[in-house]
Structure 1
Amino acid sequence: MEVAGLRLRRVMRWRYLGLALILVVSCAFHLSIIHQPDDLMVDEVYYVNDARGIVSGEGELRAEHPPLGQLLIASGISLFGDNTFGWRFFSMIFGLAGILCFYLICARLGMNERACLITTFFLAFENLTFVQASIAMLDVFNVTFILAAFWLYLRRSYAVSGVAICLATLVKLTGALALPVIAVHWLLTRRDRPVFFGLSMASAPLWFFTTIPFLDALIVGYPTNPLSRSTEILSVSATITFSRYSNIFASRPWDWVLTPDVMPYYWDPHYVAVVSFSIGALIIPAMVYMAFLASRQHPVGLFSTLWFTSTYLVWIPASIITDRMSYIFYFYPTVGAVCLAIGLALSQIMDKGRADDNLVRGRVILAGCWCYLAFHLAVLILLTPLFGFWVSLEATAATT
């Protein structure tokens, strides 16, 4: 008993216990619904069928995207079969890896342990983040590589960060949006090892053009011309405009924040692409606060503002100039920046509540913060098939 008690105390004092709990719960949530639906939904129709072709040796290149995402989905099918688990396995794994990278980003930005956990909790149980990691689409691979690039940069592993940017771009070209965040942040805050940093960042496009022919060869059996392939991807993407096509679920970038709408992925069980209300309602005030902190040279404020600017604000002029059709899930790479802002703000409020000389008022502040965290989790459960899973579980228990 004494040995068991000692081990328990060691576990309770483990620095990463909170992070481990978040990852375990998130993994359990994903596994509980990974087979729902037992059918292809939304863009899985394209990417799973692409992956099936790759596995059967009859793969074709998707003109609008680089090949890495499809190859990852194909790897899941090769390992676990042509079923829901095989389709979505690597999406789940990358989603969990993204949560880990995000926690490490928070720590590298100087946030204390409590703030890191609160901020990571917000991201891990945010609806759009959770849903994209639950289905076989490309975005979760792209975002996780971006998060890895940010963390590696913050720990000054510049060369490997450049590789991570390349990998993000080999999934979707929007992975290149990580580069301005890192470059401007380095210019404003570091300026160390300029030659090494410059070469490391320049290696990202170099690795891209070097690697894409061989990844394409895994699909079609021969290497492609990287310049022609990149031109094709950009050209096809440029043709997908609001004036040329009609889609009732398409939306402009400003709509994602000002008038967000729900984009259904599947009706029963229900999967929807929408930022959790507990996050979406606070985007504007949270980012105004980050901009204020950035003006005071606060590390979290600066990084969050640059992240938000490069992955979201650039879409506004791009949409106006190019008329490119866009969807609410394009906001997914930006969710981390907003969670960073809200997590920091809430942790600061909780710190003030603990330090308040008025005991009652301090407890009320803390209770309000904990209620908001509970509300955030409840929103996820209600917006996803998790709600149906727990209801059916309780119904089964009641009849036995």
Structure 2
Amino acid sequence: MGMDSDLFCEGLVRRFGSNAAVDHVSLDVPAGTFFSILGPSGCGKTTLLRLLAGFDKPDQGDIHIRGERMNDVPPNRRPVNMVFQHLALFPTMTVGDNIAYGLKRRKMPLVERRKRIARVLEQVGLPDLEHRNPQELSGGQRQRVALARCLVLEPTLLLLDEPLGALDLKLREQMKVELKHLQKQFGTTFVYITHDQSEAMVMSDQVAVMRDGRFDQVAPPEELYREPATPFVAGFVGDNNRLSGELVSVRDSLAELRLDDGVLVQGRVASDNLQAGHRAELYIRPESLVLSGDALSPGFSSMQAKVRTTLFDGANSRVEAETCGQPVYARLPQDGSAPRLSVDSSIRLAWNPSLARVFGAESL
């Protein structure tokens, strides 16, 4: 357990019948961190959040908040607060009364309550809305009121269960930035649950990618993107092309595959079970692919592909193609340097092997 940990969990297990929704999960979250748990529906992330909040108890393992074991501490006595997707604001109360609710339950004196409410409203950018009702506010304003209601209690941990899920796309993009700003401003440790990789990547200091009740990888967003530890992380975090083939050789940190049309390609070794003659998969990001002529940069890999569609995507052009019966697409910049591509034309796509990752069949 780190000396500056706000949250430390070891070997958490929660079973429902024979199914382990949380399966030996451990984590160490330093104070002041924006920590996200990212995964698809049904992976166990909401069950894990309920364990942290005290709404459920683990079958095994321990939960420590600021060094104190919390397994048997009820939710209302934990230094934790929670923001839900549907916010759960009281519609018949004013903004100020919503924020004051928890302070009243703690029997805080009126003068101190008013000071705290005024301060937190200023911090979340709503200084003049204390006497409004939630129905009079925009979706983003209601979101900030829900955050203020939790943050005014000065919790050690703020747990957020997909709080942006009910917002429209434009507002969701705006709130990502605001949430990150508020977390840094308050210095509170956020534990954020989401299935949306863009939310986790934009806001988080650390991200835990969860699958089938376990963490596949815990790392900063850039490391998850550039150095995925498993094929699941590589496929779930960002876009990736997957090329299947037979592993020919492994030399130092590079693995060589023979695709089904006989072409040899290379990528960095990403798993320790690579064996020549076995099937393997190479993962390469669309933006790492470039159009190539006959002359390749030294050490680059390349393959022929047939164009299926080209799609304009703002600053980029998305080229969807096919090679060896496998789909592949590239994200090419719209800077005037790339030639216009027609459907069914043949192109050569190339990449630096250091930007690709090769996983053995037993990892897939």
State the TM-score, normalized to the length of structure 1: 0.24
* Structure possessing the higher radius of gyration over alpha carbons: 2
Looking at secondary structure, tell me which structure has more helix per residue: 1
Looking at secondary structure, tell me which structure has more strand per residue: 2
State the TM-score, normalized to the length of structure 2: 0.26
